[in-house]
Amino acid sequence: MSDLVPGGNLPLPGGAVTVRVPGPFDVSALITDDGGRVRGDDDFVFYNQPAAPGARLHGDTLTVDPRGLRGGASRVTVVVSPADPATSLGRLPAPTLHVTGPGGRPLARFAPPRPRQETVLLLAEFYRRGDGWKLRALGQGYADGLAGLARDFGVDVVDEPAGSRAAHTPPSATRTTTSPPPAPARRAPHAPPPARPAPPIPPPVRPARPAPHVPSSAPPVQTAHHAPSPDPDGFLALVNSARAGAGSPPVSLDTRLAGAARAHASAMASAGRLGAEGPDGVSVHQRVTAAGYAYLTVGEHLVSGPRTPAEFVAYCLRTEQPRRTLHDPAFTHAGLGYVTDARSGDTYWTALWATPCTPAGLARTQAEVVELTNRERLRAGLSALAVDPPLVTAAQAYSTDMAARAFYSHTSPEGTQPWDRAAAAGSTRRSIGENIACGQRSPAEVVDGWMNSPGHRANILKPHFTHIGVGFAGGGPAGAYWTQLFGG
Which tens digits make up the pLDDT trace of 196-242?
556 666 554 443 333 334 444 455 555 444 445 566 678 999 999 99
Q: What is the residue-averaged pLDDT of the chain? A: 81
Instruction: Report the C-alpha gap between 363 and 359 in whole angstroms.
Output: 6
- 67, exposed or middle or buried, with CB in 10 Å at 0-12, 13-18, 19+? exposed
Would you say residue 381 has pLDDT above 50? yes
Output the pLDDT for position 199: 60
Q: Would you give the DSSP letter of residue 41? A: G
Instruction: Report the C-alpha gap between 51 and 57 in whole angstroms.
Output: 6
Residue ranges of E strands in 216-332: 252-253, 295-304
Mean pLDDT score, 390-417? 93
Would you say residue 440 has pLDDT above 50? yes
Which has the higher per-residue pLDDT, 273 or 460?
460
Q: What percent of the chain has pLDDT over 70?
A: 80
Among the listed residues 232, 240, 21, 195, the one whose alpha carbon sits nearest the alpha carbon of residue 109: 21
Cβ partners under 8 Å of residue 367, min gap 6: none
Q: Would you give the DSSP letter of residue 418? A: H
Output the pLDDT for position 208: 35
Would you say residue 158 has pLDDT above 60? no
Would you say residue 335 has pLDDT above 90? yes
Instruction: Report the C-alpha gap between 156 and 198 in whole angstroms.
Output: 7
Among the listed residues 437, 300, 431, 303, the one whose alpha carbon sits nearest the alpha carbon of residue 373: 437
Q: Which residues pair with 75 in a beta bridge?
A: 32, 127
Would you say residue 38 has pLDDT above 90? no
- Give per-residue pLDDT as tens, 296-315: 999 999 998 888 999 999 98
φ, ψ for residue 307, nearest 5 deg:
-100, -20
Residue 125 Cα distances to 18, 76, 81, angstroms: 12, 5, 15
Which has the higher per-residue pLDDT, 155 or 463?
463
- Give, in degrees to the nearest 5, the angle at Cα 44 between 42 and 50: 85
Output the pLDDT for position 91: 79
Q: End-to-end alpha-carbon separation of the chain, Å?
A: 56
- Give per-residue pLDDT as tens, 238-279: 999 999 999 999 999 999 999 999 999 999 999 888 888 888
Mean pLDDT score, 55-74? 90
